[in-house]
Structure formats: structure tokens, C-alpha cells
Amino acid sequence: MTPRLADARVANGVERAVRSWLTHLDVERGVSANTLKAYRRDLRRWTAYLVSIGVDDPASVSERHVSEFLARLREGDDAHPPLAATSAARTLVAVRGLHRFLAVEGEVDADPTAAVSPPPAPSRLPKAISLDEVERLLEAASVGDTPASLRDRALLEVLYGTGARISEAVGLDVDDVDVEAGVVRLEGKGGKQRLVPLGSYAREALTAYLVRGRSTFSAKGRGTPAIFLNQRGARLSRQSAWAVLRAAAERAQLPGHLSPHTLRHSFATHLLEGGADVRVVQELLGHASVTTTQVYTLVTVQQLREVYAQSHPRAR
């Protein structure tokens, strides 16, 4: 058999396993489209690696193959730059999920990834901006009184006022928001829904947009129920929402690293600094575990340490 035919056989075997797992995640587990896209991208690289070393099928994958693949991710090659520890760990999650699934289904005798540990990630606390910076950002989103500026202000007010992920915000439909009651229904990871209060600033911004701005966009579209619309009347994409934030941050002269997730971090941090219970913040953020939310308490403790070090006469 020629090398080309052998490679095709390997690729087909691995790809069948990948397709089976992704279908399982999509149909039976209800994993989000963005997560599936990320897994598919990571497993494409894993598949190419297996083909390059001549592994016949998933049943032939060993722990050594997984470890060497992880090392290659960190080192990079002619076609790929080296991956940071967090990115390599994310890719390993996809590979591990695939082979654990195959083991559970009885397609392979054992999971070759079970004993492979991801590279340790650097300890980084979430970045938050100050309340003053938040206010500057929100003011910078309101340039003039155009439909676009009304939409942009409402979008950023919702992101900061509810702690929504960017995908949750652009995924909102008109029926998901009760402005009078001051509540919004967000759909998070795995299709889990939660109700989050809307503050007065977010309610005012949304009302202004819905009354005076949205109709201008919707008149150009096909009747989508989405709240946030683009110039063609279709649902605003995540990329366009990012562009809205970047433009406002630039006008407000805020750091270039600002992201929609920065507003989510700021939402959580400011709530905790204001005395909110960590379990309440957990519910508002849609975290499955309070452990995930507790990282924000480290941010506030660090701030307390800095204030103490600067203010107390016997701190040093």
C-alpha cells in the first residue's frame, strides 16, 4: 500500500471517531456551537499529528503519543507557532474528551490520555477596570443620538449591568427582556437559562434603543427577534460586538486589552466589593460551581492588601 493510501486510511479512521464524538456532544449533550467549533479545530491538529506518525486508528494511540503531541504543541513546528500553556491545555481537553468517550463506548480498551497532565498555567487573576473607567467607557459609546450609538450604549450597559458573556448578550431576543420588571433572561453554557436583574441605567439605555433605534435596523432585515441588530437588520455578531467595545474603549482612552469579558470580570468584582455574597454572584454569572466564582474574591483581597500596605503605619 502506498503512503498516500495509508494516510487516507488513518485519517478516515480517526475522523470517524472525531465525528462520532462531536455528534454525541451536539445531539446528546447540547454543547454550544462555539465549543464544538473549538473542539473540531483542536482535533483537526490531533488528527494530522496521528497521520504524520502513521498511527492506524484510535485503538493504537498510546500515552506516549499523547505526551509527545502535547510537547509538540508547546514547542511548535514549521506550520504552527508554540502554544501557551493555557492553549495547549485546552487542546488536551478536546483530545482527552474524545478518547474518554471512545473508552466508555467500548471502541478502545483504555483511555491513553488518562495519565497525561496538562502543562501548568500561570496564575492570573481576572482583570477588572475601575468604576470610573466603566463610566468613561459607557459615555464613549454614546456618540450622538443615532440608532447605532443607542444600540452600542445599550449593549455595553447590558454587558456590564448583567455580567453577561458576549455570546449571551448578542443572543438576546426581544422576549428575553422585561424592561418594566427590570429582568433579563440569559442563556448560558449548555443551554442553561438564568434570570438576572437589570439596573436602572441598563433599563434606560435599552428603552431608548428599543423605542428610537432598533426599528431603523429592523426595517432593513427579515423580522429577526434579536434585540441587537446590525446595519442589515440581522442579529449583531460577536465580532461586531467586540468592535463596538474596541471603538468605545479607544474613544475613552482605555487600555487596548479591554474585552467583553473584562466587563464581566468588572461586574463580579464590583459586586463583591460592594458586599454581595459570593453565592449570589455565582448565580448571576451562571457558574456551575462557587469555586469558579471565588477567584474574584482573590481580586478584592489583593486590593485590600494594597490599600493596607499604603495606609497602615505598621504595614511594612
Active-site positions?
Answer: 165, 189, 261, 264, 287, 296
All residues at 6 or more sequence positions from 83 whose CB lies less than 8 Å from its CB, including other chains: 73, 74, 76, 91
d(CA 158, CA 166): 10
d(CA 278, CA 290): 7
